[in-house]
Amino acid sequence: MESFHSKLSESPEVVTFGESMALLMPQGPKGLEYSAALDSSFGGAESNVAIGLSRLGHRAGWCGRLGDDPFGRKILRAIQGEGVDVSRASLAADAPTGFMMREQIRGRTSVHYYRKYSAASRMIPEHLDEEYIKQASVLHLTGISMALSPSCLDTVLAAVDIAKKNGVKVSFDPNIRLKLWSAEEARRIILPLLRKVDYFLPGFDELKLLYQTESMGMILRYLNELSAITVIKGGQDETLLVEEGLITPIPYYKVDHVTDTVGAGDGFCAGFLSGLLEGKTATDAVKLGNLVGAMVIQVTGDWEGLPLREEVRAYMDGLEHVER
């Protein structure tokens, strides 16, 4: 197995950046206002994907800004501890790390964000390192970073331009959060961006919002106008791969017990990109993404359930893990 240090000594295969936030949760399924103790972790779509790729044996780099505070230092150490290169991440002395609080009551999950004026929201294009991005195979981005602030939007668009100029593939998960921007704003920004994307990884509900239609036929017509390989997540029983006018349904892996669905989409992205990096066809890459997503939802946490490469192989081979 590749060592932690050897992984960090080489250029990342995938570069991503965005906001990672501290996460506070009640102990057990109860409301925040009734909980006497909180568990502390962190989460962020882009850092989740980077951790997922690292656990699957790939070199991943996460670029972001955190506050130079206890939360920020803890998060940076944790991401680095997962084998992700954080050499282009920074701690800001003039802005705090954002945080979120999540509660689960009667099976319903609610998330409360405290990210206004966070260090991540102050990212600017000058924080990007073109040399770092251009040596990667893939630049992975999400709509969350675009929605944080006008300067974050400028930074994402600048990163895409750097990637396209240098032949780096662009992977984009819209991850639309209506607490951050309106549907109209998301539509205005995301639809033009899709012309520059190589891998588009939306959920079906996000496509309905972007294209303002419930018709799958109409949505597929719009998607076929793009040059991107599109993977539609969030179907009832299957993921849809849209590639060169062909639609391929790929069934989910069934699991006996769903513990926590948070992070499943990020796990899928990590598995899908891992498959592409390994030279798999898009169909087989989607199958791997589905498997990683299925493994994630059996564990509580945003990123804690992301599987190691050996666990995925064992699962695929039908082997049982025996704790010794």
Residues 6+ apart with CB under 8 A from 111: 100, 101, 102
Strands of 238-243's sheet, edge to edge? 60-63, 14-17, 138-142, 169-173, 199-200, 229-232, 238-243, 246-251
Cα angle for residues 228, 233, 239 (degrees, 5° grid): 90
Report DSSP state, residue 195.
G
Query: What is the Cα–Cα distance from 272 to 292, expressed in whole angstroms?
Result: 9
Query: What is the Cα–Cα distance from 206 to 139, expressed in whole angstroms?
Result: 21
Query: What is the Cα–Cα distance from 93 to 269, expressed in whole angstroms?
Result: 32
Looking at the DSSP assignment, which residues form a beta bridge with residue 22?
Answer: 42, 99
Count how many Cα atoms sit within 13 Å of the Cα of residue 116 in the half-sphere of its side chain: 4
3-state DSSP assignment of residue 179: coil
3-state DSSP assignment of residue 171: strand
Q: At 10, which amino acid appears?
A: E
Q: Which of 85, 173, 260, 266 is catalytic?
A: 266
Report DSSP state, residue 251.
E
- The string over 202-211, giving b where at least 16 C-beta atoms fall within 10 Å of a residue's C-beta and e elsewhere, is bbbebbbbbb
Residue 173 is among the residues annotated as catalytic for this protein: no
Q: Find, among 11, 10, 17, the residue nearest to 170 by Cα.
A: 17
Query: What is the Cα–Cα distance from 274 to 29, expressed in whole angstroms?
Result: 34
Q: At 217, which amino acid appears?
A: G
- Report whether 24 contacts 39 (CB < 8 A): yes
Residues catalogued as catalytic: 266
